[in-house]
Structure 1
Amino acid sequence: MLKHLATLLLLFTLGTSPLQAAEPDTATPSVTPAAQAAPPVLDPKVATQAFMDRLQGEARAKSDSYAEGGYWLLLWNLLYGLLVAWLLLSRQISAHIRDFAERRSQGKHRQVLIYALIYTPLTTLLMLPLSLYEGYFREHQYGLSNLSLAGWLGEFGIALLVNTLLMSVALLGLYALLRRQPRSWWAWGGVGGAGLIALLIMIAPVFISPLFNTYKPLPQGQIRDEILSMARANGIPVDNVYYFDASKQTKRVSANVSGLFGTTRIALNDNLLQRTSLPEIRAVMAHEMGHYVLNHSFKLALYMSLLLMGGLLFIKLSWDWAAERFANRHGVRGISDPAGLPLLVALLSVYLFMATPVFSTIIRSAETEADLFGLNASREPDGFAEAIFKLAEYRKLQPGPVEEFIFFDHPSGYQRIYAAMRWKAEQRATAPAATPSQP
């Protein structure tokens, strides 16, 4: 499921004190005052390395370990999912679910709906051991989660209900296309995927996010005023700012601007308010607002639909080969048969695993654009660098270039801090020289 791209910005105002000019002496020529000293030269690499040097020893090893473990989890999720698919097919569990749906209804749409309402909870529960390790035990191991086991299971249950509903809608559309457009279903599926992604962007801030967190208006004050000022300056149609209680779940800082057609919402979590300074908040909000202003939600919906379209084409081209080996002898009647869904999901999972560098690059490019927008909007390079440094709790600061290309869906901490220091250095380099007074 696509993550939300959320956006918030803040204004950093530069003030100058008026200089009082002396009365010119008409008898003697005035002496031109010495030019103001140029600002010191900043070396972006040296400044960035100073940040890198702040994270050493056990803390650095812990950050790197968490990130590198996530790479392996991509593989374990794929293998575990393939095992679940093999179990559902080889034991004819999927075929039995389809048979049950056919006994309950004669209509194809209802049969798919019944199948989906059974398949989604079943596979989610079969994946529970890995989900529990990844989402609860591992997060506590690295000190990133504040949820109790009961709290985590409660949120897992809510997510299961939401995913079952969304999966049912998606499968109804997919199998309708498989029956009616047997040759071009994959292309229409990509188009439908884009529509579903846009719908999620629109409804998530209003109907889904509040299922997990309580949203409240941010109290009057400088933070709220500056955020709203930046929103107005950049054409974001909001008149309020919200904060939500993410601290009950995690120690991560985050913010977002999301929504469409009147549902746009600016929100930041309470961790950001409690753990960061005002310059850091301004910088983070500027980055998030950049996503909105640069239309990243629409662009990513398009890119992801193209990526999905490629995955559906991969399924179409590889289905006959895979079905002959893993599905046909286990009661699956063809690609339009819901009983074949485990194989379809397995093929899509393999495709998405192989497309990890593509997916990472798409997201990383948008994040880079938002970083640069945020620096120009907030004019807070030090605040931005400090905020990024805090992300080193769970993001590796300085990966190798291949590692970053394949696995990082954001620029690395080093690259983001370097961009901030480079921006800062160029602002100093282009600062206007003092204008000498004239007689």
Structure 2
Amino acid sequence: MARKIGFYGVLAYIIYGLFFYWYLFYFADTSLPFEYDGSTADPATFLNGRELTLSEEYSKIRNLLFFLATPFEWIFYLLILLFGLSKAFKRWGEQSSKYKVLQTAIYLIWLSFFAFVATFPLSYISFSLSKTYNISTQSFASWMKDELIDFWVNYGTMFVIVSVLYWLMKKSTKRWWLYAWLLSVPFTLFMMFLQPVIIDPLYNDFYPLKNKELEAKILTLAEEANIPAEHVFEVNMAEKTNALNAYVTGIGSNSRIVLWDTTLNKLSEDQILFIMAHEMAHYVEKHLYIGIGGYLLLSLLGLYLTYRIMHYVIDRWGEAFKIPSVHDIRSLPLFLMILSMLMFVSSPLSNTVSRYQETRADRYAINMTDDSEAAIQTFQELTRAGLSQVNPPLLVKIFRYGHPTMLERISMIEDYEMEKRINHNK
């Protein structure tokens, strides 16, 4: 039975990979509808021939890597179970310590290590790809340092979650999913509070914006939007990437506005103010808190479905997977696999909500700054810096895009400008 499950699992992954290779490289049409030819949304008007070619090549390979990466996780966890490695990790933990908490820690370090090794080739290919296309400027040593920080941050977080989760499973076999969700609410908020001041600085250096004149203009915008911001932060990303970004992070007293130094170096002041107005819209319209609420609702449903699916799978294939019960830590790979599948399946919904919020933020920003030229040039420069497709394939948009496509964003600005002219002539 185990061999049969493994064979069909690997076969399904190969068929899935071949489908997306065919879809992205031979079937999907990324050309613009004819009515946009020659418009400011047409990449041919602001990218040269080489940039157009590189954009298509880079996007296709990057999208293929995305669609291959998540299901690879599922195959990894499936094989960990079928080959009895999860059982071996538990045995090594029990042989190394008599304390339950240390046994859990040892089990997790082995699972995390094997996962790191298994996913490293795809991670390195992604890093190498971004270097080849001049998106990344990061050295291998710097990238490896970030990968190791990721490993230990994820391990520490996972250790806390898994220790509490399996304790709840043993205490309440029927309600553990609900109690786990209730505890996840304060934990999620606590992690969001810590993110800007504890976790993010592990990767990069943050400091108050050096350009005080620009900071004053940004804070004036924030004051107009009734945002209690005292400082704008910049982060040194130029040594890692040529891409552009800005964001609002954290909650409560730890919330902050952050600009990548690449954004400061490559965009004009008007373009930066448009981006800042966009980020402020998320605060004004409470998108962060709506996002937290949506995440918590989805996680409640996800934990309940995971509880039901785990019981079904273990009742039917527990022997093949070498899992005697749900509350045995050997079931952790199954738990992670199911949760990952549910997150992947729900991503079109969460991306749709995110794209709606980002559209609202774009509209807020253009109304606030009333500078269509700066807005359009910003989106064009973002496209150039990230070698993004202006009109990506449908499945890519559904599963990958938390923002509207550049075609949609630039078209919205053009529509705004047209409406303004019509209203002015009335």
TM-score bin (small chain) = 0.7 to 0.9
What one-letter code is carried by the residue in structure 1 that aligns with 2:122?
L
TM-aligned CA distance change 1:51 to 1:139, over 3 Å: closer
**1:52: how far off?**
5.6
Alpha-carbon contact 1:191-1:305 (below 8 Å) kept: no
Which of residues 182, 189, 200 is equivalent to 2:173? 182
**1:80: how far off?**
2.0
Pair 1:384 & 2:366 matched: no
* 1:71 counterpart residue number: 63
Alpha-carbon contact 2:44-2:52 (below 8 Å) kept: no
* 1:416 counterpart residue number: 409
Alpha-carbon contact 2:39-2:45 (below 8 Å) kept: no
Higher mean Cα deviation, 161-170 or 309-318? 309-318
**1:126: how far off?**
2.4
Alpha-carbon contact 2:41-2:390 (below 8 Å) kept: no
Kindly report which structure 2 residues correspond to 1:181-220, keeping only aligned pairs within 5 A, or say none: 181-220=172-211
d(CA) in 2 for partners of 1:363, 1:401: 16
What one-letter code is carried by the residue in structure 1 that aligns with 2:243?
R
Runs (4 or more) in structure 1 with deviation over 4 Å come to 43-47, 49-52, 103-110, 324-327, 400-403
* 1:350 counterpart residue number: 341
**SS at 1:335's partner residue?**
coil
**1:359: how far off?**
2.6
* 1:124 counterpart residue number: 116
Number of residue-to-residue matches in the alignment? 390
Which of residues 90, 107, 111 is equivalent to 1:115? 107
Alpha-carbon contact 1:47-1:421 (below 8 Å) kept: no
TM-aligned CA distance change 1:330 to 1:219, over 3 Å: closer
d(CA) in 2 for partners of 1:115, 1:328: 20
Pair 1:268 & 2:255 matched: no
TM-aligned CA distance change 1:404 to 1:232, over 3 Å: same
* 1:3 counterpart residue number: none
TM-aligned CA distance change 1:206 to 1:91, over 3 Å: same
d(CA) in 2 for partners of 1:267, 1:49: 27
Give per-residue Cα distances to partners, 1:398-426, cap 9 Å, x unaligned: 13556533432210001011111222222
d(CA) in 2 for partners of 1:407, 1:286: 24
d(CA) in 2 for partners of 1:318, 1:274: 50
d(CA) in 1 for partners of 2:360, 2:410: 14
Give per-residue Cα distances to partners, 1:103-137, cap 9 Å, x unaligned: 45556555434433442233223211111112x11
**1:240: how far off?**
1.7
Alpha-carbon contact 1:109-1:176 (below 8 Å) kept: no
What one-letter code is carried by the residue in structure 1 that aligns with 2:374?
G
What one-letter code is carried by the residue in structure 2 that aligns with 1:116?
L
Give per-residue Cα distances to partners, 1:344-385, cap 9 Å, x unaligned: 111222222222312321222221222122222222222122
Give per-residue Cα distances to partners, 1:278-325, cap 9 Å, x unaligned: 111011111111122222222112212222233323322222443356
d(CA) in 1 for partners of 2:317, 2:125: 29
- Per the normalisation by structure 1, the TM-score is 0.81
d(CA) in 2 for partners of 1:232, 1:357: 35
What one-letter code is carried by the residue in structure 1 that aligns with 2:257?
I
**SS at 2:252's partner residue?**
coil
* 1:437 counterpart residue number: none
* 1:80 counterpart residue number: 72
Gaps of 5+ in 2: 1-34
**SS at 1:140's partner residue?**
helix
* 1:34 counterpart residue number: none
Which of residues 385, 397, 415 is equivalent to 1:404? 397
Alpha-carbon contact 1:202-1:263 (below 8 Å) kept: yes
* 2:130 counterpart residue number: 139
Query: As a proportion of its length, which structure holds more helix?
Result: 2
* 2:300 counterpart residue number: 309
* 2:46 counterpart residue number: 54
Higher RCO, Cα 8 Å, sep 6+: 1
Provide the identity percentage: 24
Higher mean Cα deviation, 47-56 or 124-133? 47-56
TM-aligned CA distance change 1:361 to 1:196, over 3 Å: farther
Alpha-carbon contact 1:254-1:272 (below 8 Å) kept: yes
Gaps of 5+ in 1: 1-42, 434-439
**1:90: how far off?**
2.3
**1:139: how far off?**
1.0
d(CA) in 2 for partners of 1:44, 1:295: 33
Alpha-carbon contact 1:89-1:327 (below 8 Å) kept: no
Higher mean Cα deviation, 324-333 or 285-294? 324-333
